[in-house]
Structure 1
Amino acid sequence: MTPITEVEGRRLALSNLDKVLYPATGTTKGEVLHYYAATAAQALLTHLRDRPVSFLRYPDGPDGQRFFTKNPPPGTPSWVRTTPVPRSEDESARQVVVQDLASLMWAANLVVEFHTPQWRTDAPGTADRMVFDLDPGAPATVVECCAVAVWLRERLAADRLSAYAKTSGSKGLHLLVPLEPAPADRVSAYAKRLAVEAEQELPELVVHRMTRTLRPGKVFVDFSQNAASKTTAAPYTLRARPEPTVSAPVTWTEIEECRAPRGLTFLAHDMGARLERYGDLLGPLVDPDRARPLPVAR
């Protein structure tokens, strides 16, 4: 029998709570839902609010079938907010917007990663943040990503921009920069310029092109997620990895002192203590006073 629970006045059927989703740690679906409800909800909702959400669904765990969807899943309740999102010049489709705890728990029950674009629903294609996805090619690890992150932080600071970091929840790091709203194509062009500069300055460490043959032992500085049609894993989302890893905000001290990949691997059960100690390290991303203008192309 599927238990029915009430969340903020909404009735939710939560299914298969004893199902093991992460065999490596024995983590059950019930524990995943508890993470979202009791640990991550407040911080996660801050970063999902007013952004269309895409889902990477993995209902049978990371070893099962995985599929990415931007459309509202079949059976989406009428009370879950959706918004029109441009798909082309003359076509749009609707996507879910997760605005409250009830919507968050409905989505979490589907077993999903949460992904969002760099823009809000009231201004599609106008970015209020910039992202760099630092992706290591083996044998490089997140340790090499940390060195690149520090270089990018200083380069951004030269343009009066502040960078905040989180783990990808996979192998790398994400750097996020709050911006005064700017067209996504301008943000993409600036991010590409910095990725190229990073490769020029750190040729043994950085590559700015996706070509697989260029990437072993180097960090791919992926600027492409700034495109209006692209998305990035949301802060605090669980990932479809062997363990219940979290895309976890980290301090610059942690980045500077990282000497081994495990030093920047955070699981669901780590996050309560981190939030208690640090609060939301990515809070500045939603503070309008922290946003700065994108530099004019030189």
Structure 2
Amino acid sequence: MSPITIVEGRRLSLTNLHKVIYPQTGTTKGEVVHYCTVTADPLLAHLHDRPLSFLRYPDGPDGQRFFTKNVPPGAPTWVQTCEVPHTSSGPTRQVLVQDLPSLVWAANLVVELHAPQWTSGAPGRADRLVLDLDPGDPATIVECCTAAQWLHERLAADGLEAYAKTSGAKGLHLLVPIEPTPSERATAYARGLAVEAAKALPDLVVHKMTRALRPGKVFIDFSQNAAAKTTAVAYTLRARALPTVSTPVTWDEIAACTEPAQLAFRFEDIAPRLARHGDLHAPLLDPARARPLPGDGRR
């Protein structure tokens, strides 16, 4: 029988806690759930009011992996949900992880957590801009850091402040707090930045998704600003060979990066980083930090 755990008054059945999810490190499902509880404060802050998509990998990253936007069968009735209009198959109902019991329930499913750039109260109106920097072999996150610094300065020229995090895979994500604007407008602006970066750094950056163009370069993916797209959230574990985390980093760390290992963080690294830096992405949660995109009015 699965153990029953009480989390803030909610009854949860946690299953197979001794199951090894990451064979290379021997990391168990229980450790995965524990990581989410000790990182709950910043995780919940960045998940708040954002409809979630789950990449589930219950048998580990080498087992079956499947992406789901619908509310999983058997979800407790107290887990909040919302209707999401922006899907290819019409409206769907997705999970909102708003509290610790819901986070522990989601962690028990073994999931990557992905969210759009808008909240449930304003679907399709982005309050964040995202640029996904993806290196094509043999390029690495080191090359991403060079591209990120160019984008950081270019965004600043438009009065926008970028905050960086590792993707938890090979690259970097840059996120910018913006005043709510239609997702189409955010996508167009992000595309313009990617095109400009490719012109300024032709030996380093590409803005087209064509695979043949990407070896040795950094692809700037602007498409994740579309209303129907999602991005891995800060502090989520990834379904990779090792238990890596999408981790906020400083611009000093980006400037100093000369080896990929310098910006590779596992779940055990996150608590010490939070103790040292706090939540480096906390400014994304402050409405006063949001700025309009160029052409959207107030500057």
TM-score bin, normalised by smaller chain: over 0.9
Matched ranges for 1:230-269 at <5 A: 230-269=229-268
Task: Name the counterpart of 2:124.
Answer: 125
Amino acid aligned to 1:9 = G
Amino acid aligned to 1:198 = A
* Cα displacement (A) at 1:89: 9.6
Secondary structure of 1:47's counterpart equals helix
Amino acid aligned to 1:50 = D
Q: Does structure 1 residue 105 correspond to structure 2 residue 97?
A: no
Secondary structure of 2:76's counterpart equals coil
Secondary structure of 2:93's counterpart equals strand
* Cα displacement (A) at 1:87: 3.5
* Cα displacement (A) at 1:93: 1.4
Write the distance in 1 (CA, Å) between the matches of 2:89 and 2:4.
41
Task: Name the counterpart of 2:285.
Answer: 286
Matched ranges for 1:74-89 at <5 A: 74-87=73-86
Matched ranges for 1:63-74 at <5 A: 63-74=62-73
Conservation of the 8 A alpha-carbon contact between 2:86 and 2:124: no
Post-superposition Cα deviations, 1:91-128, rounded to whole Å, max 9, x if no partner, equal 42110000000000000000000000000000000000
Amino acid aligned to 1:278 = H
Write the distance in 1 (CA, Å) between the matches of 2:272 and 2:89.
47
Secondary structure of 1:221's counterpart equals strand
Task: Name the counterpart of 1:12.
Answer: 12
Secondary structure of 2:85's counterpart equals strand
Q: Which runs of 4+ in 1 moved over 6 A?
A: none
Secondary structure of 1:12's counterpart equals strand
Amino acid aligned to 2:165 = K
Task: Name the counterpart of 2:163.
Answer: 164
Task: Name the counterpart of 2:26.
Answer: 26
Write the distance in 2 (CA, Å) between the matches of 1:129 and 1:77.
30
Task: Name the counterpart of 1:2.
Answer: 2
Amino acid aligned to 2:239 = A
Write the distance in 2 (CA, Å) between the matches of 1:210 and 1:92.
28
Write the distance in 1 (CA, Å) between the matches of 2:188 and 2:77.
39
Amino acid aligned to 1:4 = I
Amino acid aligned to 2:17 = L
Amino acid aligned to 1:292 = R
Task: Name the counterpart of 1:36.
Answer: 36
- Mind listing any 5+ residue stretches in structure 1 that lack a counterpart? none
CA RMSD in angstroms comes to 1.1
Write the distance in 1 (CA, Å) between the matches of 2:95 and 2:89.
20
* Cα displacement (A) at 1:88: 5.6
Write the distance in 2 (CA, Å) between the matches of 1:77 and 1:90.
25
Amino acid aligned to 2:81 = T
| CA distance 1:11–1:88, shift in 2 (3 Å) | closer
* Cα displacement (A) at 1:90: 10
Post-superposition Cα deviations, 1:106-159, rounded to whole Å, max 9, x if no partner, equal 000000000000000000000000000000000000000000000000000000
| CA distance 1:132–1:90, shift in 2 (3 Å) | closer
Conservation of the 8 A alpha-carbon contact between 2:116 and 2:228: yes
Please report the TM-score for the alignment, with normalisation by the length of structure 1.
0.98
Amino acid aligned to 1:207 = V
Secondary structure of 1:179's counterpart equals strand
After superposing the two structures, state which structure 1 stretch, 1-10 or 152-161, moved more.
1-10
| CA distance 1:100–1:211, shift in 2 (3 Å) | same
- Mind listing any 5+ residue stretches in structure 2 that lack a counterpart? none
Amino acid aligned to 1:80 = V
How many residue pairs match? The answer is 296
Please report the TM-score for the alignment, with normalisation by the length of structure 2.
0.98
Task: Name the counterpart of 2:225.
Answer: 226
Task: Name the counterpart of 1:295.
Answer: 294
% of aligned pairs identical? Answer: 69
Q: Does structure 1 residue 154 correspond to structure 2 residue 153?
A: yes
* Cα displacement (A) at 1:296: 1.3
Post-superposition Cα deviations, 1:20-67, rounded to whole Å, max 9, x if no partner, equal 1001111000111110012x1100000000000000000000000000
Secondary structure of 2:67's counterpart equals strand
